[in-house]
């Protein structure tokens, strides 16, 4: 099993969700996060006081899929979330040791 963690632009969330649904991915977890990579932040001015805002809002999508599906899911996410500009985000893929469905003790791929 692979855990796919994608940090994307918030306005790309709908596209990503739709694309995953189309290839038959059922489950995901979403978190609103803030962060930055190479994309630098912006400056806000309140009554003449300048504030540098370098942590920008992003959405983090997490999903765990059976090994054979990982590449397809990553490709789908890249296509759906890409605008081609700095700030599009990143995807991290890692191994998952096990998965358990709380409702009925299903294990491994059956729990996904």
Partner 1 sequence: MKQWTRIIPWLTVLVLSVGVSLAQSLPPDVAKKLDDLDKAAKNAQMAGDNAWMLTSSALVLMMTGPGLALFYGGLVRKKNVLGTMMHSFILMATVSILWAIIGYSLAFGEGNAFFGDLRYLFLRGVGGDPNADYAATIPHQTYMVYQLMFAIITPALISGAFAERMKFSAMLLFMTLWSLIVYFPMAHMVWGKGGLLNAALGGKFPAFDFAGGTVVHITSGVSALVCALYMGKRVDYPSETMRPHSVVLSVIGACLLWVGWFGFNAGSAVAAGSLASSAFIATHFATAAAVLGWMVMEWMIAGKPSVLGAISGAVAGLVAITPASGFVKPMPAILIGVAAGVVCYLMVSKVKQMFGYDDALDAFGVHGIGGTLGALLTGIFATKEVNDLRMGKPMGLIDGDAGQVMNQILAVLISWGLAIVGTLIILKITDAVCGVRVSKDQEMEGLDLTMHGEEGYNFEA
Contacting positions for partner 1 (CB under 8 A)? 44-49, 51, 53
Which CB atom, from 49 or from 97, has the smaller least distance to partner 1? 49
Question: Can you spell out the DSSP letters for 45-103?
Answer: EETTEEEEE--EEEEEEEEEE-GGGHHHHHHHHHHHH--SSTT-EEEEEEE----B-TT
Minimum distance from residue 57 beta carbon to partner 1 (Å): 14
> How far apart, in Å, are the Cα atoms of 109 and each of 2, 12, 20, 30?
10, 28, 18, 21
- Measured from the CB atom, is 51 or 92 closer to partner 1? 51
Rounded least distance, CB 26 to partner 1, Å: 27
Q: 14 or 44, CB closer to partner 1?
A: 44
CB of 42 to partner 1, least distance (A): 11
Minimum distance between the CB of residue 49 and partner 1, rounded to whole angstroms? 6
CB atoms within 10 A of CB 67: 11
């Amino acid at each position: 099993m692979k855990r796919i963690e994608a940090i994307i632009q918030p306005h790309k969330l709908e596209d990503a969700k739709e694309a995953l649904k189309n290839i038959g991915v059922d489950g995901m977890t979403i978190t609103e996060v803030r962060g930055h990579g190479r994309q630098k932040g912006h400056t806000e001015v309140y009554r003449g006081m300048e504030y540098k805002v370098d942590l920008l809002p992003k959405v983090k999508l997490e999903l765990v899929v059976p090994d054979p599906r990982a590449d397809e899911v990553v490709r789908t996410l890249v296509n759906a979330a890409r605008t081609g500009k700095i700030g599009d985000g990143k995807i991290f893929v890692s191994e998952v040791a096990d998965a358990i469905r709380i409702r009925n003790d299903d294990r491994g791929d059956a729990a996904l």
